[in-house]
Amino acid sequence: MNFLTFWVLIVVVVIILLAGTLFLGYWIPKKLGYKKPGIVLSGILAAGLILSIIATISKDYLFFKSDAKEFLSKHDIHLNDDFRIIHNDSDEILGAFQKFSLEISPTDKLRIIESITSSVNFGKDDFIEQENNSRTTINYEDNKSFIRKSRQAFGRNEVPIIEIVQVNKGINTLTCYKYIP
């Protein structure tokens, strides 16, 4: 079974389950002699379904500057000047990926670069062994950007969360990634 077939099958099963729930929300009370409560119950279920679909679709549009500042504060990065959100993209189904880009001021860019290059572990571009329930941060540069990368480890045999803050050398942009490998 290929990737597309798998996801089409999942979507079909979810649609059938949701339609069945809506139908049963009306049909069971109706068979018990409560037609109006059945209509109300199925209406509430339908409204909840519609609202959850709208919230999932519009989540990228509900990403604000305060969300970006909160993400950056976890990495000891604070933007003093005004900035603009250029792009936000996230994995809505699994929540395993998020990427956003910010246009920042030259002053903030220089301050962030100074913070990265003056860190104790600057130049290390690979994580060492890490204890459970701990967070490790590394700082380095490549040809195009300065990078602060952190890895949040959990218990044994649990997948870590990796977060990356990248400051572009050429233009005043900051790109942030969060993903579960």
Q: What is the tens place of the pLDDT at every residue in 141-166?
A: 889 999 999 888 777 777 788 899 99
Same domain, 36 and 113: no
Let me know: does 76 contact 165? Beta carbons within 8 Å: no
CA distance 115 to 104: 15
**152 near 143, Cβ under 8 Å?**
no
- What is the span of the domain harbouring residue 131? 62-179
Residues in the chain: 181
**Domains held by the chain: number:** 2
Looking at the structure, tell me whether residues 67 and 45 fall in a common domain.
no
Tell me the pTM.
0.67
- The answer to whether residues 151 and 83 touch, using CB atoms and an 8 Å cutoff, is no
CA proximity to 63, closest of 29, 31, 94, 87: 87
Is the domain of 74 the same as that of 46?
A: no
Q: Are residues 135 and 89 in the same domain?
A: yes
Tell me: do 8 and 45 sit in the same domain: yes
pLDDT at 74 over 80: yes
Q: Based on the domain organization, do 49 and 86 belong to the same domain? A: no
Q: 136 burial class (0-12, 13-18, 19+ CB within 10 angstroms)?
A: middle
Q: Are residues 100 and 132 in the same domain?
A: yes
Q: Are residues 168 and 149 in the same domain?
A: yes
pLDDT at 93: 61
Same domain, 81 and 39: no
Do 20 and 98 fall within a single domain?
no
Do 117 and 30 lie in a common domain? no
Q: Which two tokens stand for residue 35?
A: 């037609």
